[in-house]
A and B are shown apart, each in its own frame.
Chain A
Amino acid sequence: MTTTATAVPAASKGVQRSGRRPGRSHEGASRPGFAWAAPAAVFFGLFAIVPLILVVVLSFATWDGLSDPEFTGLDNWKKLFDDPIMIKSLWLSLLLTFLGVAVQTPLSILLGVWAAGHQRNRAVLSAIYFIPLLLSAAAVSVLWRAVLDPNFGVPAHAKWLFGDGNLFGNQSTAIGVLIFVSTWQFTPLHTLIYQGAARSVPRVLYQAAEIDGAGRYRQFFHITLPQLRNSVVTSMILMVVGGLTTFDTVLILTQGGPGTDTTISAYYMYQKAFKTFDYGTASAIGVMLVLVATVISLVMVRLTGYDKMNSTMEGM
């Protein structure tokens, strides 16, 4: 990613720029020295790479946290692939992720584009709307658990809608609650991304479209949406990684219940590690989650051409 200190937009292929910084010369273009990345790299290595390697090692061992780990080769992995709860948990993770993306993306695009406009009271409404973003997921989950209490919460007063209010006692409604709560909390974040992106769409495009007689809908579908493409990918990757690693909402809202009907992989990993003290299996689940998330991210980046980093600036 090239950076530029001047207002002149830089194309991606080594353009000689003014204001050269000292740095390692590389085909004539200057790059900041590695020293600038050292602090971050050291931290990342210590707190992300090293633990990840340890987890991979642990996934080939049994360990209860008391005695020394014993290497058992592929045992944990074999057990996992024969474990119906594990297979189910992966599907549940993917389902929750997919539903999250499907619900949040259209919602946040619409809200983001709206918030990028110039209507009256827009700033105030946006500010109010971003409040959920400021709360921790744990607090939000506790709040909704109380609101959705079948005897003393909203369901008790809206029987025509909720029936007996047994939202956490059926798989479909429990998943519905999880999707609703994470949508309520994270849509503002993605809205923020789209708001910024929608604001940076050049006005001239709209002016030209208006001269050509395009209405608001055509403008939205033929100018705004295509211009938001990169932001859609960014936001979707965030949603997918966030969806696959969802944990706190499940921990507080459903505890993986009823039965194992909302036991997603991340929660299953927690149960294996800190409830049944089977760190080997838990590590294997962790590694599996890393692999799944990586593959999905790579596929998304490839499919969307995001890795080509095409500029969408005017005239480029």
Chain B
Amino acid sequence: MTRRNRLPRIAVVGGLALTMALSLSACGGDDSASGGDKIHVLVYGDATNKVEKQLVATFNKSSKVKVVLDTIPGADYQAKLQTIINSKQAPDVFFNWGGGSIKPFVDAGLLLPLDDFIAKDPGLKDNFLPSVFNSTVVDGKAYGIPMRGTQPVLMFNNSKVLKENGLTAPKTWDELLNAVKVLKSKGVTPIALGGGDKWPTLMWFEYLFDRVAGPELVQSAVKGDKDVWATDGSRDALNKLKELIDAGAFGTNFDSVKFTDGGSPTLLATGKAAFELMGSWEYSTLQDSQPDFAKSDLDYSAFPSIDGGKGAPTDIVGNTNNFYSVLKKTKHPEEVAEFLKLMYSDQFVKAQLSIGNLPTTTNTEAQLDTAASPDYAHFQYDLVKNAPSFQLSWDQAYPQTAGTALTTAVQQFFNGGIDVDGFIKAMQGLPTS
């Protein structure tokens, strides 16, 4: 190799490396959502997107300002939303779960209260079921419009197993305890539980607290009243739950079972378990994975009533719906309002019903017969319509910051890691704002 002056080479190599690094770090366009004549709508990416696409196409036909649909697939939605919502990439309108999932954004002054929209078009409130609409009210102001289907939590059962053991879907707590005893003696796990996911376990707390202590307890707890956790109602609910766990209702290995990998629904479908408490999506999940079972032996009922409890037997818990919320800094509030009006249109209701979702508009009822499974749609709709209280899932009602501590405590209570007092202490330690 001949010797040359080395300086240029250092400069060249170094310069080259620098340009490469810089070009790499400057990725991502800066197509800021709030600029231009477009409305960016951010949605959780899944099968329902096809309905959202149809609606956007309908809207764009007659509007000068075009809507662009952006999707974030998978469970990272909330984390990714949090990272962009206060940046240039923020959308104009975004999907959320209401309640605690938007409270931090409201507190940070990022969201537009929809009261002005509603004043101009009362339909934006009146066309939705009140129990659903209310779960998006933060500090007395409405911040969202329902935009998908409702997901109440129901008791699913394997009717074949029940029949074989001379049982029916339990209407009362005592009937449930009796069913547990009978099934256990026959070697069937009474209730399938995906404890590995933790949130299916939480559903049991939600119903027990509603039935025993009444829906007000959790509502005031979420508002910041930590003392309610130590009341008698709360202790009664926890003791009732403990009674069920100790009776062997869930078997012994529920913490190793998951819903998300198909474990607990398969237990139900194969008859190894008789019941599962799950959100209404259980139906479509089983239609996909166990079509024969879903057609013939899958049955469902409301959660049993509990004697002497404060909550009505018609109360329900679950995810009331998903919602569209609007950012304060959107440049096209009028067009956004127009777009939101599509959420109670007949086209929207038909499209959602056809893919198995159950919209929560007042005009849904008339079209229930067009649903993918009409009986199931009717059952759910009546349940939601007649519910005096529809308690939002605790992990959605509480702010995001409480999620991990909440589900950890729930799991520990079920596996005996903490007792009633321990659970109460954990709940009192949850952040509420």
Contact = CB atoms under 8 A, between A and B. Distances in A.
Interface of A: 21-22, 33-36, 38-43, 46-47, 64-67, 145-146, 148-152, 164-169, 255-260, 271, 274-278
Contacts of A150: 253, 256-257
B400 A277 contact: yes
B296 interface: no
Nearest to A168: B256
B108 A169 contact: no
Contacts of A40: 17
Contacts of B20: 39
Contact of A275 (B3, B18, B104, B400): B400
A22 B252 contact: no
Contact of A168 (B4, B83, B196, B272): B196
B85 interface: yes
Given A64-B104, A65-B83, A257 B266 contact: no
Contact of A278 (B4, B110, B252, B401): B401
Given A35-B14, A255-B196, A259-B415, A169 B253 contact: yes
Q: Give the one of B195, B272, B408 with max A CB within 10 A.
A: B408
Contact of A260 (B10, B252, B272, B408): B408
B10 A43 contact: no
B79 interface: yes
B82 A65 contact: yes
A255 B10 contact: no
A38 B83 CA distance: 33
B1 interface: yes
Interface centre among B266, B402, B411 (most CB of A within 10 A): B411
Interface string B131-145: 000000000000000
B170 interface: no
A33 B11 CA distance: 12
A207 B253 CA distance: 57
A42 B14 CA distance: 8
Given A164-B252, A165-B253, A169-B253, A257 B401 contact: no
Given A38-B13, A67-B108, A276-B404, 10 more contacts: A35-B13, A38-B17, A39-B14, A65-B83, A66-B104, A66-B110, A148-B256, A151-B266, A167-B256, A276-B401
Contacts of B196: 168, 255, 257
A277 B253 contact: no
Nearest to B418: A259
B103 to A, nearest CB: 11
A149 B251 CA distance: 14
19 contacts: A33-B10, A34-B10, A38-B17, A39-B20, A42-B14, A42-B21, A46-B21, A64-B104, A67-B108, A150-B256, A151-B253, A164-B252, A165-B253, A166-B252, A166-B253, A169-B415, A255-B198, A257-B196, A257-B411
A165 B21 CA distance: 50
Given A149-B257, A258-B255, A277-B400, A35 B9 contact: yes
Contacts of B267: 151
A169 B401 contact: no
Contacts of A41: 17
Contact of B86 (A42, A66, A151, A271): A66
A267 to B, nearest CB: 11
B30 to A, nearest CB: 19
Nearest 5 interchain pairs by C-beta: A169-B255, A39-B17, A166-B253, A35-B10, A168-B256
B403 interface: yes
Contact of A43 (B17, B257, B412): B17
Given A42-B17, A42-B18, A257 B255 contact: yes
A64 B103 CA distance: 13
B1 A21 contact: yes
Contacts, number: 123
Contact of A277 (B10, B104, B252): B104
Contacts of A35: 6, 9-10, 13-14
A151 B257 contact: yes
Nearest to A145: B261
A85 to B, nearest CB: 9
Nearest to A36: B13
B16 interface: yes
B10 A38 contact: yes
A271 B251 CA distance: 29
B379 interface: no
B390 to A, nearest CB: 26
Contacts of B252: 164, 166, 169
Nearest to B413: A259
Contacts of A39: 13-14, 16-17, 20
Nearest to A276: B401
Nearest to B20: A39
B263 interface: yes
Contacts of B85: 66
Nearest to A169: B255
B254 interface: yes
B185 interface: no
Contacts of A274: 79
A62 to B, nearest CB: 12
Contacts of A64: 82, 104
Nearest to B256: A168
Contacts of A21: 1
B13 A43 contact: no
Nearest to B400: A277
Contact of A169 (B195, B400, B403): B195
Given A33-B10, A257-B198, A152 B263 contact: yes
Nearest to A272: B404
A159 B258 CA distance: 20
Interface in B77-122: 79, 82-83, 85-86, 104-105, 108, 110
A202 B401 CA distance: 60
A145 B256 CA distance: 9
A170 to B, nearest CB: 8
